[in-house]
Amino acid sequence: MSKKLFIQTLGCAMNVRDSERMIAELTQKEGYELTNNEAEADLILINTCSVREKPVHKLFSEVGGFVKNKKEGAKIGVCGCTASHLGSEIFKKAPQVDFVLGARNVSKITQAIKTPKFISNDINHDESEFAFAEFRNSIYKSYINIMAGCDKKCAYCIVPHTRGDELSIPFEIIKNEVTKAVLSGAKEVFLLGQNVNNYGKRFSKEHRKMDFSDLLNELSLISGLKRIRFTSPHPLHMDDKFLETFTSNPVICKSMHMPLQSGSTQILKAMKRGYTKEWFLNRALKLRKMCSDVSISTDIIVAFPGESDEDFNETLEVMKELEFEQIFSFKYSKRPLTLAASMPNQIDELTASKRLKTLQDLYNSILDKISKKQDGKVFEVFFEELKENNQIAGRSDNNFLINVNGSEELLGCFKKVKINKTSRTTLYGEIQD
């Protein structure tokens, strides 16, 4: 009987891709088989996130649960961003953990499972050219890493301490990976990095000069590839060339993530974001003008140290002006190793909660307005996921989630859909003949 692997993934798309790689290495090189049941697993992996304090607490409660439920002799491995920055502290806090494997050390998973109390958490370990085995959760949509790490030092953010310095993956490797994914059925790829539009700044070996716009244009020529998405670009690097490429290349989906974080230039400066409110507005308004059907999503942090009511109001003003189609909003969370953790003017929890609620209420009213506006419109939808009640879900080019009545044979297909019902988060429609 084959050995069973249970894996839990917290955090962002990069972690999802890292988990796919660990599954690939373990199933293809070590004979494991995936299971959804931790109690029957021989190996339990948790791929952790450190970006806010909550998921770190979750790690230790989850490990406690695994210890209780696991079968005798089963191993527990802690991987990902929390493994990177806590390292051997994890063994001290949770002695039942068998190994600790940091975020940029995924290629060592086969070694980790065979070595007692293995630990590897070098945040600058270079695996940009490692030949990983292949496994993907979806055959229709593939995550493709284009870079590791991040060279920015945003004052609130732990990611540079968990994923190290920025390192771009050579073009030929990315191209091969996209081509392989397309040959196995993918029509859409999602390019991943913490600063994707800074692609090409540093490679581990000599590489021809290439920026993110060049990368997008070259990948868009791959035959059979219908859609390219990417996350996260940085507002600072949204130069005219990038906006023009984004607008003019039909393979690039018209959905842009523009992480604002704050609408106050003073707070942006304290956050070390490198741009002002005016620059952000200039880029977003230019994009809306160049590309009328673009949808823009953003990330916002409320209650960063020193954020006054006026600063917070500026964030609300930017939201009203730009009417983002999607917002991911967070209360500031104090993280170890970051500059902001030692800032004196931390904001109390009650104020933070109130601000988050105000922001989310405003967002909901914007979203209701945006959703209603889509009624009667026709979108080209790529169907990706079967739902209950004979529904199937897909995304428009500009990333609206759209459900229609339909079954399995629509998976992986593009169809024109006319919207006939809207809700805050989902549009519903009918396929047009």
Would you tell me which residues interact with ligand SAH (CB under 6 A)? 51-52, 156-157, 159, 194, 232, 234, 259, 261, 299, 301, 330, 332-333, 335
CB of 354 to ligand SAH, least distance (A): 16
- Work out which of 6, 15, 97, 259 binds ligand F3S, going by CB under 6 A: 15
Contact of 136 with 187, CB cutoff 8 Å? no
| By CB under 6 A, residue 49 contacts ligand F3S | yes
| By CB under 6 A, residue 12 contacts ligand F3S | yes
Quote the CA–CA distance of 49 and 58 in Å, as a whole number. Answer: 9
Amino acid identity at 212: F
For residue 50, the partner it binds in ligand F3S, ligand SF4, ligand SAH, none, with Cβ less than 5 to 8 A by kind, is: ligand F3S
| By CB under 6 A, residue 81 contacts ligand F3S | yes
Identity of the residue, 82 or 403, whose beta carbon is nearer to ligand SAH in the bound complex: 82
For 46, left (φ over 0), alpha (ψ -120 to 50), or beta? Answer: beta
The dihedrals phi and psi of 419, each to the nearest 5 degrees, come to -75, 130
Does the annotation flag 157 for ligand binding?
A: yes
Peptide bond before residue 232 is cis, with ω within 30 degrees of 0: yes
Pick the piece of the chain touching ligand F3S (CB under 6 A) from 25-33, 44-52, 334-342, 401-409.
44-52
Binding mask 370-409 for ligand F3S (x = CB under 6 A): ----------------------------------------
Quote the CA–CA distance of 433 and 430 in Å, as a whole number. Answer: 9
Identity of the residue, 77 or 160, whose beta carbon is nearer to ligand SF4 in the bound complex: 160
Q: Which of 82, 77, 79 is nearest to 52 (CA)?
A: 82
- Work out which of 4, 6, 11, 231 binds ligand F3S, going by CB under 6 A: 11
Segment (H or E) for 287: helix 277-290
CB of 433 to ligand F3S, least distance (A): 42
Binding mask 146-165 for ligand F3S (x = CB under 6 A): -------------x--xx--
Q: Which of 56, 107, 106, 100 is nearest to 75 (CA)?
A: 100
Query: Rounded to the nearest 10 degrees, how much is the dihedral formed by the CA atoms of 77, 81, 84, 90?
Result: -50
Long-range interactions of 236-242: CB distance < 8 A, separation 24+: 236/273, 236/274, 236/275, 236/279, 237/195, 237/197, 237/198, 237/212, 238/197, 238/283, 238/287, 241/211, 241/213, 242/197, 242/212, 242/213
For residue 333, the partner it binds in ligand SF4, ligand F3S, ligand SAH, none, with Cβ less than 5 to 8 A by kind, is: ligand SAH
Does the annotation flag 12 for ligand binding?
A: yes
Does the annotation flag 150 for ligand binding?
A: yes
CB of 141 to ligand SAH, least distance (A): 20
Sort strands 427-431 and 75-80 into parallel, antiparallel or unpaired. Answer: unpaired
Interface residue list for ligand SF4 (CB under 6 A): 150, 152, 154, 157, 159-160, 194-195, 234
Feature table: binding site = 12, 49, 81, 150, 154, 157
Feature table: binding site for [4Fe-4S] cluster = 12, 49, 81, 150, 154, 157
Which residues contribute to the site for ligand F3S (CB under 6 A)? Answer: 11-12, 14-15, 49-51, 80-81, 159, 162-163
